[in-house]
Amino acid sequence: MFTRTKPYIEFSVQGGKRQRRTIDIDQFSIGSGEDADLRLQSSMIADRHLVIARSGDDWVVRVVGLNPVEVNGVPLAERDRTIGSDDDVNIAGLVSFRLVDPAAAPVKTDGKPERAAAVEPATAGGKSNAVTYLFSIVMLGSAVAAYLMFLHRPADTVADLTTISSATIDRVVDSLPDCITAASERVKAGAVRPDLPADSIYWALAKNTAAMGGDGDKVSSADLQRQVREWLVEGFVAEQQGDGSRASRAYQVVRTLVPDLQCRAHLLASSRYRIAAQSR
């Protein structure tokens, strides 16, 4: 029987009728795996995609699977986020929910996210009302959703260089001129080997920037930024479609375009390449 004194989630699958599930444990998982407390069978949902965990007097949503996860319509860049009863959480456009804890005071979520303690999968014995919600995802619909997500670019921050989102792509591409300037300083200091590939646009820009005292070739820089953005978006969309081979190829192109291991674009592409390669 539903008890209002216990915390619960009010959720809707693919815009359907809203339902409620009482949370009887301190960690409640949502995913496609058999051990998930709320199971969603979809290629876009990891076995344990998201965990709602109690952290002191607060509740934290912890993203374990790949994005997209949105809080109040904003793609979640950080892995952990304190949530309150007024926050709407959406997973890949497939399921939306809000957490209600009658015993807790509302929390503010516009500050720095709090880190939750390491969470372990909930055991089958800790579940109540073990209901499995199954649905299939049309691949074309997934592609459209991923593309629309890319068009929505909020001004959030990049928490790390392992999670990819439209905001992460924006920040990484915008940081390319700074990468080139930093590389040019290494060129001037003789810290870069002189036999760099002649066909490398990135290192040509770094050398040119060093020779021009920091101004560089802004037209060529803009062209490199355009190419890097296009290939990062290609990899991002491919990941949302579950196409690891296409995603890894796209990220490899980015690593070739930006061969500087100290640049954000290269670091992001490398981390996503490894993840995509594992899913091939």
pLDDT in tens, 262-280: 789 988 988 888 888 777 6
- Using CB atoms within 10 Å of the CB of residue 3, give its burial: 0 to 12 exposed, 13 to 18 middle, 19+ buried: exposed
CA dihedral 166, 168, 174, 177 (to 10 degrees): -140
pLDDT at 231: 95
Q: Is the CB of residue 13 less than 8 Å from the CB of residue 40?
A: yes
- For 25, the token pair is 């444990």
> What pLDDT shows up at residue 104?
61
Q: Which of 131, 139, 45, 129 is nearest to 95 (CA)?
A: 45
Q: Identify the pLDDT of residue 66.
A: 66
Tokens (6 digits) for 115: 């880190």
Q: What is the pLDDT of residue 151?
A: 42
Confidence at residue 228, expressed as pLDDT on a 0 to 100 scale: 95
The whole-number pLDDT of residue 160 equals 54
- Give the β-pairing of 89-91 and 95-100: antiparallel
Domain boundaries, the chain: 8-137, 144-278
As a whole number of angstroms, the distance between CA 100 and CA 8 comes to: 5
* β-strand pairing of 27-31 with 38-40: parallel
pTM of the model: 0.44
pLDDT digits (tens, 9 = 90+) for 24-41: 877 888 888 888 888 887
In this predicted structure, what is the pLDDT of residue 61?
A: 84
Considering the four listed CATH numbers 3.40.50.300, 2.60.200.20, 2.40.10.340, 1.10.1660.10, the one that applies to the domain covering 8-137 is: 2.60.200.20
Positions of the chain with pLDDT under 70: 1-4, 66-67, 74-79, 85-86, 104-162, 191-199, 213-219, 280
Residue type, 262: Q
